[in-house]
Amino acid sequence: MAKRKSGGFIETVKTVVYAVVIAIVIRTVAFEPFNIPSGSMIPTLLVGDYLFVSKFSYGYSRFSLPSFMEVPFSGRVFGSQPHRGDVVVFRLPRDTSIDYIKRIIGLPGDTVQMINGQLTINGVTVPRRPDGDYVAEGEGPRMLLKRYIETLPNGPSHDILKAGDDQPLDNTPAFKVPAGDVFVMGDNRDNSLDSRVPADRGGVGFVPMENLVGRADFIFFSIDAVDPWWEVWQWPFEIRWSRLFTGIT
Protein backbone atom coordinates (compact mmCIF):
# COMPACT_ATOMS: atom_id res chain seq x y z
CA MET A 1 0.00 0.00 0.00
CA ALA A 2 2.83 2.41 0.89
CA LYS A 3 4.54 1.62 -2.41
CA ARG A 4 1.32 2.33 -4.31
CA LYS A 5 0.95 5.73 -2.57
CA SER A 6 4.54 6.63 -3.34
CA GLY A 7 4.08 5.66 -6.98
CA GLY A 8 0.92 7.75 -7.20
CA PHE A 9 2.70 10.79 -5.79
CA ILE A 10 5.56 10.43 -8.27
CA GLU A 11 3.12 10.14 -11.18
CA THR A 12 1.36 13.29 -10.00
CA VAL A 13 4.66 15.18 -9.84
CA LYS A 14 5.60 13.93 -13.32
CA THR A 15 2.23 15.07 -14.69
CA VAL A 16 2.69 18.55 -13.20
CA VAL A 17 6.24 18.79 -14.59
CA TYR A 18 5.06 17.69 -18.05
CA ALA A 19 2.27 20.26 -17.96
CA VAL A 20 4.70 23.05 -16.99
CA VAL A 21 7.15 22.05 -19.73
CA ILE A 22 4.38 21.96 -22.34
CA ALA A 23 3.10 25.38 -21.21
CA ILE A 24 6.63 26.85 -21.44
CA VAL A 25 7.15 25.37 -24.91
CA ILE A 26 3.81 26.76 -26.14
CA ARG A 27 4.57 30.21 -24.72
CA THR A 28 8.05 30.16 -26.23
CA VAL A 29 7.35 28.97 -29.77
CA ALA A 30 3.61 29.36 -30.38
CA PHE A 31 1.31 31.69 -28.46
CA GLU A 32 1.51 33.96 -25.43
CA PRO A 33 -1.43 35.67 -23.70
CA PHE A 34 -1.52 39.44 -23.13
CA ASN A 35 -4.10 41.81 -21.74
CA ILE A 36 -4.90 45.40 -22.74
CA PRO A 37 -4.40 47.90 -19.88
CA SER A 38 -4.90 51.20 -21.75
CA GLY A 39 -7.05 52.79 -24.43
CA SER A 40 -4.39 53.62 -27.03
CA MET A 41 -5.68 50.96 -29.45
CA ILE A 42 -9.42 51.73 -29.15
CA PRO A 43 -11.60 50.85 -31.05
CA THR A 44 -9.63 47.80 -32.25
CA LEU A 45 -8.70 46.73 -28.73
CA LEU A 46 -10.49 47.70 -25.53
CA VAL A 47 -9.28 47.88 -21.95
CA GLY A 48 -10.01 44.45 -20.50
CA ASP A 49 -9.37 42.50 -23.73
CA TYR A 50 -7.24 39.38 -23.36
CA LEU A 51 -5.54 38.18 -26.52
CA PHE A 52 -3.11 35.65 -27.89
CA VAL A 53 0.06 36.77 -29.67
CA SER A 54 1.61 34.41 -32.20
CA LYS A 55 5.34 34.07 -31.56
CA PHE A 56 6.13 32.42 -34.90
CA SER A 57 4.80 35.21 -37.15
CA TYR A 58 8.12 37.03 -37.47
CA GLY A 59 10.56 34.42 -36.23
CA TYR A 60 12.19 34.46 -32.81
CA SER A 61 14.45 36.86 -30.92
CA ARG A 62 15.53 37.00 -27.30
CA PHE A 63 12.40 39.05 -26.63
CA SER A 64 10.19 36.24 -27.93
CA LEU A 65 11.20 34.13 -24.96
CA PRO A 66 9.41 34.34 -21.60
CA SER A 67 11.06 37.00 -19.42
CA PHE A 68 12.64 34.42 -17.10
CA MET A 69 14.30 32.68 -20.09
CA GLU A 70 15.88 35.63 -21.88
CA VAL A 71 19.29 34.83 -23.32
CA PRO A 72 21.83 37.31 -24.71
CA PHE A 73 21.66 36.86 -28.48
CA SER A 74 20.86 39.44 -31.13
CA GLY A 75 18.77 39.39 -34.29
CA ARG A 76 15.97 37.00 -35.19
CA VAL A 77 15.91 33.30 -36.02
CA PHE A 78 13.60 32.23 -38.88
CA GLY A 79 12.82 35.94 -39.23
CA SER A 80 10.28 37.38 -41.65
CA GLN A 81 9.28 41.00 -42.20
CA PRO A 82 5.95 42.17 -40.80
CA HIS A 83 3.32 43.90 -42.90
CA ARG A 84 1.84 47.36 -42.65
CA GLY A 85 -1.31 47.12 -40.62
CA ASP A 86 -0.15 44.28 -38.36
CA VAL A 87 -1.01 44.78 -34.69
CA VAL A 88 2.07 43.77 -32.73
CA VAL A 89 3.33 43.38 -29.18
CA PHE A 90 6.89 44.60 -28.72
CA ARG A 91 9.39 45.48 -26.04
CA LEU A 92 9.71 49.23 -25.54
CA PRO A 93 13.13 50.21 -26.95
CA ARG A 94 14.02 52.56 -24.08
CA ASP A 95 12.95 50.02 -21.42
CA THR A 96 12.78 46.44 -22.66
CA SER A 97 11.07 45.27 -19.47
CA ILE A 98 7.85 46.92 -20.73
CA ASP A 99 5.51 45.45 -23.35
CA TYR A 100 3.60 47.75 -25.72
CA ILE A 101 0.97 46.99 -28.35
CA LYS A 102 0.51 49.17 -31.45
CA ARG A 103 -0.14 48.92 -35.18
CA ILE A 104 2.73 48.87 -37.69
CA ILE A 105 2.39 51.90 -39.95
CA GLY A 106 5.85 52.22 -41.53
CA LEU A 107 8.34 49.63 -42.77
CA PRO A 108 12.09 50.07 -43.34
CA GLY A 109 12.71 52.82 -45.90
CA ASP A 110 9.25 54.40 -45.50
CA THR A 111 8.85 58.09 -44.71
CA VAL A 112 5.99 58.67 -42.27
CA GLN A 113 4.51 62.04 -41.33
CA MET A 114 1.35 63.53 -39.84
CA ILE A 115 0.12 66.65 -41.66
CA ASN A 116 -2.94 68.46 -40.34
CA GLY A 117 -4.15 65.33 -38.60
CA GLN A 118 -3.79 63.01 -41.57
CA LEU A 119 -1.25 60.26 -42.01
CA THR A 120 1.08 60.38 -45.01
CA ILE A 121 3.40 57.58 -46.10
CA ASN A 122 6.10 58.29 -48.67
CA GLY A 123 4.52 61.62 -49.47
CA VAL A 124 1.05 60.20 -50.18
CA THR A 125 -1.91 60.94 -47.90
CA VAL A 126 -3.37 57.72 -46.54
CA PRO A 127 -7.10 57.65 -47.36
CA ARG A 128 -9.56 57.64 -44.50
CA ARG A 129 -13.35 57.45 -44.71
CA PRO A 130 -15.67 58.91 -42.03
CA ASP A 131 -17.59 56.22 -40.16
CA GLY A 132 -19.68 58.13 -37.62
CA ASP A 133 -19.00 58.98 -34.00
CA TYR A 134 -17.56 56.90 -31.18
CA VAL A 135 -18.03 57.42 -27.45
CA ALA A 136 -14.82 56.53 -25.61
CA GLU A 137 -15.17 55.82 -21.91
CA GLY A 138 -13.35 53.97 -19.18
CA GLU A 139 -10.23 56.18 -18.94
CA GLY A 140 -11.15 59.58 -17.58
CA PRO A 141 -14.23 61.45 -18.83
CA ARG A 142 -16.41 60.23 -21.67
CA MET A 143 -15.27 61.63 -25.01
CA LEU A 144 -17.10 61.91 -28.30
CA LEU A 145 -14.59 61.07 -31.03
CA LYS A 146 -14.72 60.83 -34.79
CA ARG A 147 -14.37 57.35 -36.24
CA TYR A 148 -12.66 56.73 -39.59
CA ILE A 149 -11.81 53.71 -41.71
CA GLU A 150 -8.18 54.05 -42.79
CA THR A 151 -6.57 52.02 -45.57
CA LEU A 152 -2.78 51.68 -45.54
CA PRO A 153 -0.79 51.22 -48.79
CA ASN A 154 -0.87 47.53 -49.74
CA GLY A 155 -2.49 46.89 -46.39
CA PRO A 156 -5.85 46.19 -44.83
CA SER A 157 -8.43 48.73 -43.73
CA HIS A 158 -8.86 49.36 -40.02
CA ASP A 159 -10.71 51.74 -37.71
CA ILE A 160 -9.08 54.75 -36.11
CA LEU A 161 -10.36 57.44 -33.75
CA LYS A 162 -9.64 61.16 -33.85
CA ALA A 163 -10.55 63.91 -31.39
CA GLY A 164 -9.72 66.46 -34.08
CA ASP A 165 -7.05 67.34 -36.62
CA ASP A 166 -5.28 69.96 -34.52
CA GLN A 167 -4.03 67.80 -31.65
CA PRO A 168 -0.42 67.83 -30.33
CA LEU A 169 0.77 64.98 -32.59
CA ASP A 170 -1.20 65.98 -35.70
CA ASN A 171 1.74 67.81 -37.32
CA THR A 172 5.08 66.06 -37.07
CA PRO A 173 8.44 66.01 -38.81
CA ALA A 174 8.96 63.46 -41.58
CA PHE A 175 10.26 60.22 -40.02
CA LYS A 176 12.48 58.08 -42.26
CA VAL A 177 12.27 54.51 -40.95
CA PRO A 178 15.77 52.99 -40.66
CA ALA A 179 16.68 49.54 -41.95
CA GLY A 180 15.69 46.88 -39.44
CA ASP A 181 13.09 49.08 -37.70
CA VAL A 182 9.36 49.72 -37.91
CA PHE A 183 7.17 52.74 -37.14
CA VAL A 184 4.14 52.10 -34.94
CA MET A 185 1.05 54.07 -33.97
CA GLY A 186 -2.06 53.53 -31.86
CA ASP A 187 -5.49 53.43 -33.47
CA ASN A 188 -6.73 55.94 -30.89
CA ARG A 189 -4.56 58.51 -32.63
CA ASP A 190 -4.90 61.42 -30.21
CA ASN A 191 -4.44 59.28 -27.10
CA SER A 192 -1.42 57.19 -28.01
CA LEU A 193 2.25 57.45 -27.07
CA ASP A 194 3.93 55.89 -30.07
CA SER A 195 6.67 56.33 -32.72
CA ARG A 196 5.61 59.94 -33.31
CA VAL A 197 7.40 60.76 -30.04
CA PRO A 198 11.14 59.91 -30.03
CA ALA A 199 12.48 57.68 -27.27
CA ASP A 200 14.72 60.46 -25.91
CA ARG A 201 11.56 62.51 -25.27
CA GLY A 202 9.89 59.70 -23.35
CA GLY A 203 8.11 58.17 -26.35
CA VAL A 204 8.50 54.99 -28.36
CA GLY A 205 10.53 56.11 -31.38
CA PHE A 206 11.47 53.57 -34.02
CA VAL A 207 11.05 49.94 -32.95
CA PRO A 208 13.80 47.46 -33.89
CA MET A 209 12.36 44.29 -35.40
CA GLU A 210 14.37 42.41 -32.81
CA ASN A 211 12.02 43.88 -30.18
CA LEU A 212 8.90 42.36 -31.73
CA VAL A 213 7.38 39.72 -29.47
CA GLY A 214 4.75 38.66 -31.98
CA ARG A 215 1.58 39.51 -33.87
CA ALA A 216 -1.70 39.96 -32.01
CA ASP A 217 -3.99 37.36 -33.59
CA PHE A 218 -7.25 37.01 -31.69
CA ILE A 219 -9.14 37.96 -28.53
CA PHE A 220 -9.99 35.00 -26.30
CA PHE A 221 -11.63 36.91 -23.43
CA SER A 222 -12.89 40.42 -22.73
CA ILE A 223 -14.38 42.02 -19.64
CA ASP A 224 -15.62 45.49 -18.78
CA ALA A 225 -14.94 45.39 -15.04
CA VAL A 226 -16.93 48.42 -13.88
CA ASP A 227 -18.48 46.86 -10.76
CA PRO A 228 -16.61 45.94 -7.55
CA TRP A 229 -14.96 42.52 -7.76
CA TRP A 230 -17.00 41.16 -4.87
CA GLU A 231 -20.28 41.64 -6.74
CA VAL A 232 -20.06 38.14 -8.15
CA TRP A 233 -23.60 38.28 -9.53
CA GLN A 234 -22.48 41.02 -11.96
CA TRP A 235 -19.64 39.03 -13.50
CA PRO A 236 -21.64 37.43 -16.35
CA PHE A 237 -22.93 40.87 -17.38
CA GLU A 238 -19.43 42.38 -17.48
CA ILE A 239 -18.11 39.87 -20.02
CA ARG A 240 -18.13 41.23 -23.56
CA TRP A 241 -19.46 38.03 -25.08
CA SER A 242 -19.46 39.33 -28.65
CA ARG A 243 -15.67 39.91 -28.53
CA LEU A 244 -14.72 36.41 -27.43
CA PHE A 245 -12.65 34.47 -30.00
CA THR A 246 -12.65 37.28 -32.55
CA GLY A 247 -9.73 38.00 -34.89
CA ILE A 248 -7.70 41.21 -34.72
CA THR A 249 -7.45 43.27 -37.90
Q: How many domains is the chain partitioned into structurally? A: 1
Rounded to the nearest 10°, the torsion over CA 187, 193, 198, 203 is: -150
Give which of 69, 58, 83 is closest to 27, Cα–Cα: 69
Question: Which pLDDT score is estimated for 1?
Answer: 46
Question: Which pLDDT score is estimated for 16?
Answer: 67
Residue 1: beta bridge partners? none
Q: How would residue 219 be classed by pLDDT, with cut points 50, 70 and 90?
A: very high
Q: Looking at residue 130, which CATH number applies to its domain?
A: 2.10.109.10
Question: Which pLDDT score is estimated for 235?
Answer: 77
Question: Which pLDDT score is estimated for 23?
Answer: 53
Full 3-state SS string of 133-187: EEEECCCCCCEEEEEEEEECCCCCEEEEEECCCCCCCCCCCCEECCCCEEEEECC
Lowest mean pLDDT among 55-59, 62-66, 109-113: 62-66
Q: Kindly state the DSSP code that residue 232 receives in the 8-state scheme.
A: G
CB contact at 8 A, 81 and 148: no
- Residue pLDDT, tens place only, 61-95: 888 776 656 666 677 776 788 999 999 999 999 99
Instruction: Give the domain extent around 204.
Output: 2-247
Is 80 catalytic? The answer is no
Question: Which pLDDT score is estimated for 133?
Answer: 96
Question: Which pLDDT score is estimated for 67?
Answer: 61
- Residue pLDDT, tens place only, 5-38: 556 767 666 666 656 655 555 555 556 899 998 9
Q: How would residue 2 be classed by pLDDT, with cut points 50, 70 and 90?
A: very low
Residues 6+ apart with CB under 8 A from 76: 58, 59, 60, 61, 209, 210
Q: Per-residue pLDDT averaged across 121-126, rounded?
A: 97
Give which of 212, 248, 218, 214 is closest to 52, Cα–Cα: 218
Question: Would the pLDDT of 195 be above 70?
Answer: yes
**Catalytic, out of 55, 102, 146, 162:** 102
Lowest mean pLDDT among 53-62, 192-201, 205-214: 53-62
CB contact at 8 A, 133 and 146: yes
d(CA 214, CA 26) in angstroms, rounded, equals: 13
- pLDDT averaged over the chain? 87
Helix (H, G, I), strand (E, B) or coil at 51: strand
Is 3 catalytic? The answer is no
Helix (H, G, I), strand (E, B) or coil at 233: helix
